[in-house]
Amino acid sequence: MSPRAGLCSFATLLAVALGAGACSKDEYVAPPPATSTSDVADPAAAAETLAALQDSIDGGDPSTAAGLGADASSRDLLSAIVANAEALGLGDVTLRYVTETGRTRGSGAWDAQVALTWRIDGHDAASARTELPVSFAAHGATIAAIGGPGARLPLWLSGPLDVERAGDVVVAVAGDASRAEDYLAAARRAVRQARAVVPGGKGLVVEVPADPESLQRTLDTAPGQYAAIAAVTAPVDGSRAAGSPVHVFLNRSVYDDLDPVAAQVVMTHEAVHALTEATSARQAPLWLVEGFADYVALRDVDLPLTRTAGQIATEVRKDGVPPTLPLDSEFDPSASHLGGVYEAAWLVCVTLAEHAGEQALVDLYAKVRDGADLATALREHAGWTEPELIAAWQDRLRSLPGVAG
């Protein structure tokens, strides 16, 4: 699954803000005073503490980093962060004090926003960038906590990681690391399968948060948004800017329960998204983005259509063939019949490959991903109009086991 970034325009945000605090033109309501932190906050000291942590990360010095912690828990966390950075091969790690948030935590402690950059050298073409809350203590001389409610928390800042790597594949696992080598083996095979269809490309990074709640914090998503999803490919900082690092994130509560074949299909599907930079395909229809990933993932899998297309076959038998190709809205993770939607998209790509050849499908995907008009690419690479593709796909659906006859 490769989610579209949720966008909200400034006008919409402004309208909501005005609606929430509306009053008549004759009224004046004074804004509530901001909580003062001037008695406990020392931004200069906090900036020096962040600089010291950055130096510790750059120098691979966990003991010095631990000395910046306010208590045993924060000392352990800061030491783990340095170890994580070294194991991942992080570069361009910067920590910059931005501003107080107005929240205090008892005598001498307060929260501030901190700007962060980082990248995995040899994997990420550009650095990820985000802001996150950091809790300072002792007037800024120590760090009490990193992260907070409603804020993205990069996995390497969350606690100790087990990092496995082989060739150009890196897997970072939080919590129980007993399956780390299995994740690595599946990721390596996924890269081989993807490159058999789409040669070249960068390496693959797979991040495995400890549990669904950690996945939610890592991706800064709504609670339960990916509860039923085994994996997702996404920019690590939430940005859709060109070159932003894109990794695969596993939801181990779902992924770990899959049988080996299904787990490999999921891993390869996500690897295709990551290696082909599918998250940047803003204009490409999701039936092509998701269907192509499944086409590659299922290409060499010996499974019957009753399993790979069983859900869409049931829907066609009940309701008839869909009148249109799958709509983007149907790929919402919370949508009903999501499995059937993915199977339908896969069969669109199968239909194209059977008609024009695999290379034509690959070329079509690449062109549309990079912004080409779908209708033009269809004519160029498949010799079809969209209505002709729909008709051929509908025939393919009617021929599925349990539908035909």
Give the pLDDT score at 333.
82
Rounded Cα–Cα distance for residues 110 and 35 (Å): 11
Rounded Cα–Cα distance for residues 208 and 183 (Å): 9
Q: Which fold has domain 43-157?
A: Nuclear Transport Factor 2; Chain: A, (3.10.450)
Element of type H or E holding 219:
helix 212-219
Assess contact for 76 and 104: CB atoms under 8 A. Answer: no
Give the pLDDT score at 102.
76
Question: Helix or strand or coil: residue 3?
Answer: coil
Assess contact for 152 and 115: CB atoms under 8 A. Answer: no
Domain spans, the chain: 43-157, 160-280, 281-405
Give the pLDDT score at 38.
57
Can you give the pTM of this predicted structure? 0.88
- 32-41, long-range: CB within 8 Å, 24+ apart, which pairs? 34/102, 35/102, 35/103, 35/104, 36/102, 37/100, 37/102, 37/103, 37/104, 37/110, 40/104, 40/107, 40/108, 40/109, 40/110, 40/139, 41/100, 41/110, 41/112, 41/136, 41/139, 41/140
Taking CA atoms, 235 is separated from 74, 179, 297, 321, in Å, by 27, 24, 21, 35
Give the pLDDT score at 243.
81
Give the pLDDT score at 253.
96
Cα separation of the two ends of the chain:
33
The yes/no answer on whether domain 160-280 falls in CATH 1.10.150.120 is: no
What is the pLDDT tens value at each position of the chain, 405 positions in all? 654 442 222 222 222 222 333 333 333 333 333 444 556 789 999 999 999 999 999 999 999 999 999 999 999 999 999 999 999 999 999 999 999 987 766 667 899 999 999 999 999 999 999 999 999 999 899 999 999 888 999 999 999 999 999 999 999 999 999 999 999 999 999 999 999 999 987 899 999 999 999 999 999 999 889 988 999 999 999 988 878 899 999 999 999 999 999 999 999 999 999 999 999 888 899 999 999 999 999 999 999 999 999 999 999 999 999 999 999 999 988 777 899 999 999 999 999 999 999 999 999 999 999 999 999 999 999 999 999 999 999 999 999 998 976
DSSP state at residue 279: G
- Distance from the Cα of residue 162 to its chain's centroid: 20
- 325-331, long-range: CB within 8 Å, 24+ apart, which pairs? 325/285, 325/287, 325/386, 325/389, 325/390, 325/393, 326/286, 326/287, 328/4, 328/285, 328/286, 331/1, 331/286, 331/290
Which is nearest to 2 in space by CA: 374, 272, 252, 317?
A: 272
Which is nearest to 220 in space by CA: 134, 132, 143?
A: 132
What are the two backbone dihedrals, phi and then psi, of residue 211, each rounded to the nearest 5 degrees? -160, 175
The yes/no answer on whether domain 281-405 falls in CATH 2.60.40 is: no
For the CA atoms of the chain, what is the radius of gyration?
A: 24
Assess contact for 143 and 114: CB atoms under 8 A. Answer: no
Residue tagged 């290379």 (tokens): 359
